[in-house]
Amino acid sequence: MTDSVILIQINASPDSSFEKPILRYIKEKNPSVVIFDFDNFSEESLRKYAVDLVAQSRSAAIIVQCKAEEGPFTGLIQFFNHLQQLKHPQLLILRDGPLPEQLVKMMKIIGGNKYRVLEKSASETEVRDQVDSFLKSP
């Protein structure tokens, strides 16, 4: 089993940039980690792939970056519903930014004591440090 890191970005419109510096850094530091990203506009097949990836991982870190408070959330609610059914024992959820209350509640339930809310001024370094620490844990 491998470790995985999934970046979910919540945007007001579809994100066309392929460069995700935080994922590049994590991959360079942890070459065996599988990285994946999608946004709130992604197709269901991508969300299903992310759930499958978590299910096959020894540990999984999910970073949720909210860059917009408005946008379609239905797909993300379905994604977190599927995650909740997995009951994965080694799952870190990092939330960066405000989210609708329904998503927050789901993330708290799924992440349990490994659910973290980053401060508004959290730097990319803080996110990377949290993920690095989690991936090194037994």
Going by the DSSP 8-state scheme, the letter that residue 14 receives in this structure is -
Q: Are 37 and 7 in contact (CB under 8 A)?
A: yes
C-alpha span between 36 and 23 (Å, rounded): 8
Q: What is the pLDDT of residue 119?
A: 65
Q: Is the pLDDT of residue 1 over 80?
A: no
Residue holding tokens 């440090």?
129
* Model confidence pLDDT, tens digit, residues 4-37: 999 999 887 777 777 888 899 999 999 999 999 9
Query: What does the alpha-carbon distance between residue 99 and residue 53 come to, in Å, rounded to a whole number?
Result: 24
106: left (phi over 0), alpha (psi -120 to 50) or beta: alpha
Whether 39 has a pLDDT exceeding 80, the answer reads yes
